[in-house]
């Protein structure tokens, strides 16, 4: 069993940026569980399937295989052998993913893969339910959050930099809606584990947050 650092929190709190940098500094692998859910979202988007019963049937049919590999330290996600790492980053995929990730059969499909990685490697794993469900015995648990306004501002800046037209108010509205879906679902809702440390990044710089994560890890090793 490796050492596990679990980072949970709402969309746009900076989990992946922070986890990636911290993982590289302490020599852990970074596991992005959202990307795994997005791969399944893409599978159902391609089928234009939003029917819960149909989704459950597909999950039980062995038609869907999600695996990951690493290109250097960057996680690549494969859907039935196809590298979909770029294709999963659209709003459309995000939307259907938020829907399919509520379904127990979808979550079961990924649980083993996620736990297996933590068994074999030292990991920083980010998601929504890592500290509560996937790795309840993680040595370090962090709940990373920021106000919806701040998260919207960051997303707006990111899109603008990519030259994508967007509206700040609409982004914040979407973020709040996504939070509600993730928090209010029945299975594995987004929740701070009772033993997780809360880090509110609203007024913190990236390096400061990475430093805080690493210091929590160092504290554990002492």
Binding residues for ligand DC (CB under 6 A): 11, 33-34, 37-38, 94, 97-98, 101, 127-129, 178, 182
* Residue closer to ligand DC, measured from CB, 164 or 222: 164
Which alpha helices (H) appear in the chain, and where do they start and end? 15-26, 33-46, 52-59, 91-100, 104-120, 148-161, 168-184, 206-221
Tokens representing residue 101 in the block: 């990730």
The whole-angstrom separation of Cα 167 and Cα 185 is: 27
How many CA atoms lie within 13 Å of 40's alpha carbon, on the beta-carbon side? Answer: 29
Distance of closest approach, residue 210 Cβ to ligand DC, in angstroms:
18
* Residue closer to ligand DC, measured from CB, 33 or 201: 33
- CB atoms closer than 10 angstroms to residue 61: 8
* Residue closer to ligand DC, measured from CB, 32 or 58: 32
Distance of closest approach, residue 125 Cβ to ligand DC, in angstroms:
8
Distance of closest approach, residue 130 Cβ to ligand DC, in angstroms:
6
Distance of closest approach, residue 117 Cβ to ligand DC, in angstroms:
13
């Amino acid at each position: 069993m490796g050492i596990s650092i679990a980072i949970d929190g709402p969309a746009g709190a900076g989990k992946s940026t922070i986890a990636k940098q911290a993982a590289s500094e302490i020599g852990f692998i970074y596991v992005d569980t959202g990307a795994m859910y997005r791969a399944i979202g893409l599978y159902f988007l391609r089928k234009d399937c939003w029917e819960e019963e149909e989704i459950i049937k597909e999950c039980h049919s062995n038609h869907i295989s999600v695996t990951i590999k690493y290109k250097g330290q960057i996680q690549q996600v494969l859907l039935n052998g196809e590298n979909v790492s770029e294709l999963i980053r659209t709003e459309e995929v995000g939307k259907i993913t938020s829907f399919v990730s509520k379904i127990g059969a979808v979550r079961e499909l990924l649980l083993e893969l996620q736990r297996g990685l933590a068994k074999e490697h030292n990991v920083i794993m980010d998601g929504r339910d890592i500290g509560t469900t996937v790795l309840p015995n993680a040595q370090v648990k962090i709940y990373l959050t920021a106000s919806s306004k701040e998260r919207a501002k960051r997303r707006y800046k990111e899109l603008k930099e990519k030259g994508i037209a967007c509206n700040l108010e609409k982004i914040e509205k979407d973020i709040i809606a996504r939070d509600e879906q993730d928090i209010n679902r029945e299975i594995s809702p987004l929740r701070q584990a009772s033993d997780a440390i809360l880090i509110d990044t609203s007024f913190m710089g990236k390096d400061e947050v990475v430093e805080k994560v690493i210091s929590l890890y160092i504290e554990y090793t002492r």
